[in-house]
Amino acid sequence: MFLKKLKNSERGSITIFVLGTMLMITGVIFVSYFSMMNKSSAQTAQLNKIQEEYNQSDSMMDQVYEQNLSLKSEKIPASDYGAEVIGYTCANNSAVGSWKILYADDTNIYLIANDYIPYNYIPATSTGNKPNRINSTSAVYFTNVIGDYPTGTASISDRKIRALSNDYFTKGYTSTSNNMKSVAYILDTNVWQGYAGEYAEYAIGAPTIELLFKSCNEKHGTRYGATATSSVGYYLKDKNGEGKYDNLHFNASDGLGDSLYFISSQSKAQAMWIASPGGNNDNHLLSLNTSSYLTYAEYSDNLTGGGLRPVVCLKEGVQFTKNGDGSYTITGM
């Protein structure tokens, strides 16, 4: 009898033990399950947060990319012509105080030196000849260099360089006159390569009259024009697109009085040479002088001459960002 009770008691203890163990195991399983669920939920939340931040970052990157893309593939607004450009350098960078945006078309952006370059940085031709120096910091004339360009217009063979004087060359004009030999020197990209840095397609010694007028007309709403009427060179139209002039007087409000084009100081030179022949004489080049005249001057003018402000055509695809002060910074290709 006693043994039977003991046996029953042992069975009950075993049953209780088994049940207790099973409950414990079940509890552990539930705790582990809920812990894993909580951990999984936390991980999911963290992953969602990371994904959200990534999407935001990706969106911001897209916005920056699109902004840069718009500044490289669309024209910089004409109202920003004259803005300083930061980040452009070249071998002769110390000759240029700063670069300004001169013009932008659908493919390229053109920069111009903000001032006349010093004589020491005016380059020599392939034979070592340099323009003649006048007794000032930057003023020169071209007697010394014309002998290196005996073929005149034939020396200007690059399609893109000829396009800067489109009206002249599309009319089929050719010239071996002294004014065109002088122009050939100013437009010789090999000579001016010291101003063509990493981001440049080419550099030349001065703007052509067509490039200058495109910039001014877009920025100021003027209608200046330059027409090649013969192989000698260009005649000019006034700010209303009228007339036929060999020189034009302008006021500060007439567009050409903008400091982007017009340098009033005579400390370095009394005029800026323009890389275009004047139409009234085959010895004349166009120039913009400190007396507020867009006029002509002898290629051999050893009294006043003119200064040179190199122009750089940037490569297609150069990217910019616009700064808060209105300047632009080159950010790459």
Tell me how far CA of residue 286 lies from CA of 3, 24, 176, 206, in angstroms.
132, 101, 17, 11
Residues 46 and 31 grouped into a single domain? yes
Quote the pLDDT of residue 135.
Answer: 81
Residues 93 and 213 grouped into a single domain? yes
Residues 267 and 139 grouped into a single domain? yes
Residues 54 and 95 grouped into a single domain? no
- Which DSSP string corresponds to 31-80? HHHHHHHHHHHHHHHHHHHHHHHHHHHHHHHHHHHHHHHHHHHSPPPGGG
Residues 58 and 95 grouped into a single domain? no
Residues 179 and 293 grouped into a single domain? yes
Q: Which domain holds residue 235?
A: 78-332
Quote the pLDDT of residue 316.
Answer: 95
Residues 82 and 67 grouped into a single domain? no
Residues 119 and 242 grouped into a single domain? yes
Quote the pLDDT of residue 176.
Answer: 98
Kindly give, in sequence order, each residue whose CB lies less than 8 Å from that of residue 90, ignoring residues fewer than 6 positions away.
96, 194, 195, 196, 197, 200, 203, 312
| Pairwise CA distance, residues 136 & 302, whole Å | 11
Residues in the chain with pLDDT values less than 70 = 1-74
Q: Which of 74, 99, 118 is the last residue of a domain?
A: 74
Residues 154 and 40 grouped into a single domain? no
Quote the pLDDT of residue 4.
Answer: 43
Give the dihedral sign, CA 248/253/255/261. Answer: positive
Q: Which residues pair with 8 in a beta bridge?
A: none
Number of domains in the chain: 2
Q: Phi/psi at 251 (nearest 5 deg)?
A: -100, 175
| Pairwise CA distance, residues 102 & 183, whole Å | 20
Residues 23 and 135 grouped into a single domain? no
Q: Which of 12, 39, 74 is the last residue of a domain?
A: 74
Residues 120 and 259 grouped into a single domain? yes
Residues 50 and 88 grouped into a single domain? no
Question: Any alpha helices (H) in the chain, and if so which ranges?
Answer: 2-73, 159-162, 166-170, 178-186, 209-220
Quote the pLDDT of residue 256.
Answer: 95
Q: Which of 74, 104, 127 is the last residue of a domain?
A: 74
Give the predicted TM-score (pTM) of the model: 0.79
Quote the pLDDT of residue 36.
Answer: 46
Tell me how far CA of residue 67 lies from CA of 59, 64, 152, 227, 322, in angstroms.
12, 5, 44, 38, 10
